[in-house]
Amino acid sequence: MHDHVLHGILDEASRLLAEQGDAVSLMDIARASGVARSTVYRYFPNRATLLESIAQQAIRELSAGLDDAELDSIPVEDALARLTRGFISIGAKYAALAALAPKPNATAPKDIEAPVLRLLERGLADSSLNASWKATTLLKIYGDLVHGAILRTAHDRRQLEQASADVVSIFLDGARSRPTAYRPRHG
C-alpha cells in the first residue's frame, strides 16, 4: 500500500507540475492523488523533498529505459534516435523538473551519462560522428538539445515524435544545408 500511495502521489505531482507549473500546491497534489493533505506531507514534508523524489523517479525510469534500449547492438544513428525518443518521452512526463530547476546538477547521474557517452565514443570510433569533437562535448550539446525538446513538448505531447526527429537531425547533420566548419569573421 505504501509504495502504491507514494507512486500515485509522485505521478500526479509530475502531471500537475508539467501541466500547470510552479503554481501547483501540495494541496492540489493531494486532491489529484485522492489522498489527504496530511498524507502528502507525511511523504514529502516540503516542496524540495517532493521535487527531489520526482527527480529520483525520473532517473529510475531513464535508467530502466537505457537498460532496455540495447544501444550497443544497433547502429549509432538508430541508437541515437531510440535514445532521444526515450529521453524526450520520459522527460516530458517530468518536464516540471526541467522547467522549475533547469540543469539542477549540471550533469546527469553516471548511470544515465555513461551509456550515452559510450554510444558517442562508438560513433566517433566508427566515423558515424564528426571526430573533430570530443565525446564529452558532444554529450553536453546532445543534452542541451534534448533538454530544449523536453521543454518544447511538455505541454503538447503530440510534438514528441517531431521533436525527437528534430534533435537527432540537428545533432547528426547540423543545421546547415552543407555542413562546414564554422569560422568566425573578423573585421
Question: Helical H runs in 2-134?
Answer: 2-20, 26-33, 37-43, 47-69, 76-93, 95-100, 110-125
Summarised one tens digit per residue, pLDDT across range 79-94 is 999 999 999 988 888 8
Does pLDDT of 184 surpass 80?
no
What's the CA gap between 72 and 53, in Å, rounded?
30
Summarised one tens digit per residue, pLDDT across range 121-134 is 999 999 999 888 89
CATH number at residue 22: 1.10.10.60
CATH number at residue 169: 1.10.357.10
Domain around 24: 1-45
Summarised one tens digit per residue, pLDDT across range 30-44 is 999 999 999 999 999
- Is position 50 within any domain? no
Does pLDDT of 167 surpass 90?
yes
Task: Give this prediction's pTM.
Answer: 0.78
Give me the phi and psi of 141, to 5 degrees please. Answer: -65, -45
**Number of domains, the chain:** 2
